[in-house]
Chains A and B, each alone.
Chain A
Amino acid sequence: MEFQGNVEFAAPREVVWKIIRDPTTVAKAMPDFRDLVVTSPTSFTGSAKVGVSVIRGSFRFQFQIEEENPGSFLRLSARGRGIGSSVDIQTRVTLADGGSPTATRMEWKAEAQVGGALAGIAQRLLDQAADRTVRDIFTNLSRLVREGTAAGP
């Protein structure tokens, strides 16, 4: 399943970069995230509650920055396991200059793979649930960037 979107921020690229590159931001964007542990400069772990409404469970995630080009490109993998299932998300975020000199345009693409019990049993709802989950995460991320940039660099 692939999802994508874009958003423009009224802040320069280096400011936006600094926020999205921060594990704390990623953690805050995930639903009910807790136990953030930064394990290396390019990896961190923690758990989040993934799902929709009552179909929801705690997943332990390992985040790994697979590739980065500061200020412009980030590839982040999140591998989660819980409730007899796996949720693996590969995300590519590209930053580019926006419409004005101080604006940044963020494009994101996410590829999600779900395995185990959720993949089979919730099959009929998976597209829609994954779509909603991924969009919520990026909505949160955008809000966090806006809040962060509003607070000043």
Chain B
Amino acid sequence: MSAARTSPRSVAVPAPAEGTGWVGKSIPTKESVRFTTGHGSYLDDVKLEGTAHIALVHSPYAHARIRSIDVKEASAMPGVLAVYTGEDIRKLVDPFMQLAPPPADKVLDYPLAVEKVRFVGEPVAVVVARDRYLAADAAEMVQVDYDVLPPVMDAESAASPSAPILHEAIGTNRVWDGVYEYGDVDGAFAQADLVIQEKFHYHRFNSAPLELNAALASFDRRTGELTLYTNNVMPMFCMPLVASSLRLPSDRIRVIVPDVGGSFGNKINSFPYMVLVSVLSMQLGRPVKWTELRSEFLAAGTHGNERTFQIEAAVRKDGTLLGLRGEAFDDTGAYARYEPAGAVIWAQVAFSMYRHKNLRLHFHSVFTNKCPVGPNRGYSRAQHLFLYERIMDRIADRLGLDRGEVRERNFVRADEMPYQAPNGTVLDGGDYARALHRVQEMLDLPSLRAQQKALRARGRYLGVGIAAALDSAGNNFAQVRVINPHLPFSGNSESARVWMDMMGRVHVAMGPTNQGQGHETMASQIVAHELGLNPEDVHALPGFDSHSHPYTGHSGAYASRTAVMGGGALLGAARELRRRIQVIAAHLLKTAPEDILLEKGEARSRRTGNALPLSVIGGVALGNSLELPLDMDTNLSVTYVYRPPFRIPSHVDKKGNFTLTYSYQVHGAVVEVDPETGKVHLRRYVAVDDCGNMINPAIVEGQVIGAAVHGIEAALLCEAKYGADGQLLASSFTDYLCATSLDVPPVEVEHFITPSTAGPMGVRGVGEGGGTALPALAAAVEDALSPFGVTFQDSHLTPERIQSAMRGRAPTVPSPP
């Protein structure tokens, strides 16, 4: 098998140049002090005079026709300013633009349900009142009469022609449907020694940001300007949706994002609520605020994509994977919203970390009567990577090979990097096999196996599971054209502005919002590094404000992109500012710009040693400018847009570079399973991560640990579970079980550093590798219970699911490791 090679891509900016070396240092995050001492300013901390508050009326049914809504009693309640139904809102706004191609582009999606409700918790009416309590009291008095319809609760049944239809306007439950085919799949199967057939299910879950969705709109009738405070983390991408729905020109909308208390992708889909508070503010002439309740977030926020695979793997008897073919059913819930992007995002990791060449996947995105899905840490890729890791385990088990050896046999090798996969994506460096070996060493696999054997003899079941995964970052938006060739999106870009004032102080603002990842620190480090300053002396503006922050249509904090995309923009802006400072300083110090070194807050001539503090440079350039020639550029404010060299993929062959960087991780889990109860006790968890050069290793470590815990809780505790009747069972934190420190052992992390051949500064995005925990834990549980011969197809392992699989099975004689 010969790997397709590409030459290392030319990179917009090379690795960090000289400087005081702030990039790569684990300095404490600047913003953590305000976040941990109660001084963060989140959306609900924004107080505007005269603000009205809303309470939503939710559907108790998964699928029903709205017969009538009686708001008389609610409207007459004390403090109530107005009550609006979906029909009322429909007259005031345009439906949201749909990303899907026909016929799903005809879906009518409004902030409140119109004509029908399609999932439990869907908002059907809104009460606006003087305060939140009165609004909630009145919302209970809104009388909605429904005709209950049969719900469609799983994607495979929803795709069947006989299923009840959610959106009559399109006459089908299909959001998108298409075949991805790379290589010679049937040829691969013809050569196979073994064909493995399996069905896997990746369950529904989301995240638990401390701050929930929220929005505050204030419409100024005098100027016709709307100020929209939101904690949406991709607000400028959502802006065209919001502006067109509100029928407002975008120059009349100012977007302000204060500190954000976590998102994990879930806050991208809050635009229906942004439109709702905006239209209410426009109607009522006063600010209107909404802060989501946890029960609303769990029922009607964003769930991660639930996916079912029916898959066949063609395998050689030495464990080489030759090809994969099958179907994927993506349950997107009741509205497509950010979907059907999930139907292509997975293709960023279509071949995972493996060298095989042949893949045919018929992908179905389907509406069901559940909460709409959208980005959730590892968006659409974690599902696909789960499939690969489970297939690797199956190959090993069926052939009697070691699970690690099978991975190693199939991994892309370090000497093949950068490696172009058959669908055009380029893996930008790393040594996957070495990371696997390191995890095996950290776990001390031989002694674990001995321990496992000894414990089995005593009726105790220890198991180890190792899984590997990619963490792709900096997506090429053009991939959505695979789904819909007419979508006006491509590439990716980010904007940053770095400027120096007349006191010589340096300010930074950029497009991505900050939901706690330490962006202000990261920005300060990069700029300080380039300008010879201390990060403490660089002021990164908190939050985002479309009036003061630069941005592009891609701006936002999603897809692990800020270090790469924001980093590229910051570097570009800081270097251009450095150049301008050097020109001015050279004039004042009577030397050449190349001779000027920026260090310790000074511009110094290397040749003469003469130096000027930056305050003098700023003061001269901005306040005492006749000291400089008139044709010298005194603009010390630089806005730079970073654009990676993406191409537009062909929507016919579905090939292209879908994303910029690929961090990778190998996770190892040691579990003990109680065979009588099915409860999994996680004993140890180790992770090796390689995200290339790290700007702030402590931040990276936090991301790796956070993502691992997120994945662990998803595997063992969190499930957005629905009953067959369409009721959401995990509707509060009583049943949606987030892990606490008592449930997860310390995650042991090691970093490899293989600089990216694609990202600026050799950096890769990181933070979504938690998906790795799901296959690692499934593998560990199977390993523990191997004497019983049970396997699991699901990514979520409840004690009851494990116990019922074990029912009636006795352990075989202790099997060799």
On whether the beta carbons of A116 and B729 are closer than 8 Å, the reply is: no
Q: Which residue of A lies closest to B139 (CB)?
A: A84
Contacts of B143 in A (CB 8 A): 60, 81
Contacts of A60 in B (CB 8 A): 143
On whether the beta carbons of A88 and B729 are closer than 8 Å, the reply is: no
Contacts of A88 in B (CB 8 A): 148
On whether the beta carbons of A120 and B731 are closer than 8 Å, the reply is: yes
Contacts of B229 in A (CB 8 A): none
Question: Is residue A119 contacting chain B, with contact meaning CB distance below 8 A?
Answer: yes
A84 to B55 Cα, complex, angstroms:
12
Q: Within the complex, what minimum Cβ distance (angstroms) separates B140 from chain A?
A: 7
Question: Is residue B144 contacting chain A, with contact meaning CB distance below 8 A?
Answer: yes
On whether the beta carbons of B735 and A85 are closer than 8 Å, the reply is: no
On whether the beta carbons of B730 and A120 are closer than 8 Å, the reply is: yes
Q: Which of A82, A86, A117 contacts B61 (CB 8 A)?
A: A86
Question: Is residue A121 contacting chain B, with contact meaning CB distance below 8 A?
Answer: yes
Known contacts A81-B60, A86-B60, A120-B728, A115 near B735 by CB under 8 Å: no
Tally B residues with Cβ within 8 Å of A: 24
Closest 10 CB pairs of A and B: A120-B731, A116-B60, A115-B60, A86-B60, A119-B727, A121-B732, A120-B728, A85-B60, A123-B729, A115-B61
On whether the beta carbons of A119 and B60 are closer than 8 Å, the reply is: yes
Q: Within the complex, what minimum Cβ distance (angstroms) separates B355 from chain A?
A: 46
Question: Is residue A113 contacting chain B, with contact meaning CB distance below 8 A?
Answer: yes
A144 to B735 Cα, complex, angstroms:
40
On whether the beta carbons of A121 and B61 are closer than 8 Å, the reply is: no
Within 8 A of A (CB), among B291-306: 295, 299
Question: Is residue A37 contacting chain B, with contact meaning CB distance below 8 A?
Answer: no
Contacts of A62 in B (CB 8 A): 145
Question: Is residue A83 contacting chain B, with contact meaning CB distance below 8 A?
Answer: yes
Within 8 A of B (CB), among A74-96: 81-86, 88
Tally A residues with Cβ within 8 Å of B: 18
Q: Within the complex, what minimum Cβ distance (angstroms) separates A79 from chain B?
A: 8
A21 to B295 Cα, complex, angstroms:
40
Q: Within the complex, what minimum Cβ distance (angstroms) separates A84 from chain B?
A: 6
Q: Within the complex, what minimum Cβ distance (angstroms) separates A51 from chain B?
A: 15
A113 to B731 Cα, complex, angstroms:
17
Question: Is residue B741 contacting chain A, with contact meaning CB distance below 8 A?
Answer: no
Q: Which of A83, A113, A119, A120 contacts B140 (CB 8 A)?
A: A83
**Which of B723, B727, B728, B731 counts the most chain A CB atoms within 10 A?**
B727
Looking at chain B's contact residues, is the secondary structure mostly helix, strand, loop, or mixed?
loop
Q: A116-B58, A119-B728 are in contact. List 4 more A-B contacts (CB 8 A).
A: A81-B144, A115-B120, A117-B731, A120-B730
Within 8 A of B (CB), among A99-115: 113-115
Contacts of B734 in A (CB 8 A): 121
Within 8 A of A (CB), among B705-733: 723, 725-732
Q: Within the complex, what minimum Cβ distance (angstroms) separates B783 from chain A?
A: 32
**Which of A81, A115, A116 counts the most chain B CB atoms within 10 A?**
A115
Q: Which of A81, A82, A83, A117 contacts B295 (CB 8 A)?
A: A117
Q: Can you list 29 A-B contacts (CB < 8 A)?
A: A62-B145, A81-B60, A81-B143, A84-B58, A84-B60, A84-B140, A86-B61, A88-B148, A113-B725, A115-B60, A115-B62, A115-B726, A116-B58, A116-B59, A116-B60, A116-B120, A116-B727, A117-B60, A117-B295, A117-B731, A119-B729, A119-B731, A120-B120, A120-B729, A120-B730, A120-B731, A120-B732, A121-B734, A123-B735
A83 to B136 Cα, complex, angstroms:
11
Contacts of B725 in A (CB 8 A): 113, 115
Contacts of B299 in A (CB 8 A): 120
Residues of B with Cβ closer than 8 Å to A?
58-62, 120, 140, 143-145, 148, 295, 299, 723, 725-732, 734-735
A47 to B207 Cα, complex, angstroms:
39
A76 to B299 Cα, complex, angstroms:
31
A117 to B725 Cα, complex, angstroms:
14
Contacts of B148 in A (CB 8 A): 88
Contacts of B58 in A (CB 8 A): 84, 116
Q: Within the complex, what minimum Cβ distance (angstroms) separates B397 from chain A?
A: 37
> Beta-carbon contacts of A53-88 to B below 8 Å, as 1s and 0s?
000000010100000000000000000011111101
A83 to B144 Cα, complex, angstroms:
13
Contacts of B144 in A (CB 8 A): 81
Contacts of B145 in A (CB 8 A): 62
Known contacts A120-B732, A121-B732, A115 near B140 by CB under 8 Å: no
Contacts of B59 in A (CB 8 A): 116
Q: Which residue of B lies closest to A118 (CB)?
A: B60
Q: Which residue of A lies closest to B142 (CB)?
A: A81
Q: Within the complex, what minimum Cβ distance (angstroms) separates B124 from chain A?
A: 12
Q: Which residue of A lies closest to B732 (CB)?
A: A121
Contacts of B140 in A (CB 8 A): 82-84
A82 to B141 Cα, complex, angstroms:
8
Contacts of A113 in B (CB 8 A): 725
Q: Which residue of A lies closest to B298 (CB)?
A: A120
Q: Which residue of B lies closest to A85 (CB)?
A: B60
Q: Which residue of B lies closest to A115 (CB)?
A: B60
On whether the beta carbons of A115 and B727 are closer than 8 Å, the reply is: yes
Contacts of A82 in B (CB 8 A): 140
Q: Within the complex, what minimum Cβ distance (angstroms) separates A112 from chain B?
A: 11
Q: Which residue of A lies closest to B735 (CB)?
A: A123
**Which of A62, A117, A119, A120 counts the most chain B CB atoms within 10 A?**
A120
Contacts of A84 in B (CB 8 A): 58, 60, 140
Contacts of B730 in A (CB 8 A): 120
Contacts of A85 in B (CB 8 A): 60
Q: Within the complex, what minimum Cβ distance (angstroms) separates B70 from chain A?
A: 10
Contacts of B120 in A (CB 8 A): 115-116, 119-120
Q: Within the complex, what minimum Cβ distance (angstroms) separates B136 from chain A?
A: 10
A7 to B120 Cα, complex, angstroms:
37
Q: Which residue of B lies closest to A121 (CB)?
A: B732
A122 to B238 Cα, complex, angstroms:
37
Contacts of B731 in A (CB 8 A): 117, 119-121, 123
Q: Within the complex, what minimum Cβ distance (angstroms) separates B735 from chain A?
A: 7
Q: Which residue of A lies closest to B722 (CB)?
A: A120
Q: Within the complex, what minimum Cβ distance (angstroms) separates A125 from chain B?
A: 11
**Which of A60, A85, A117 counts the most chain B CB atoms within 10 A?**
A117
A41 to B726 Cα, complex, angstroms:
33
Contacts of B295 in A (CB 8 A): 117, 120-121
Q: Within the complex, what minimum Cβ distance (angstroms) separates B133 from chain A?
A: 15
A120 to B371 Cα, complex, angstroms:
14
A83 to B137 Cα, complex, angstroms:
10
Q: Which residue of A lies closest to B299 (CB)?
A: A120
Q: Which residue of B lies closest to A58 (CB)?
A: B140
A119 to B59 Cα, complex, angstroms:
12
A104 to B510 Cα, complex, angstroms:
80
Q: Within the complex, what minimum Cβ distance (angstroms) separates A83 from chain B?
A: 7
Q: Within the complex, what minimum Cβ distance (angstroms) separates B401 from chain A?
A: 44
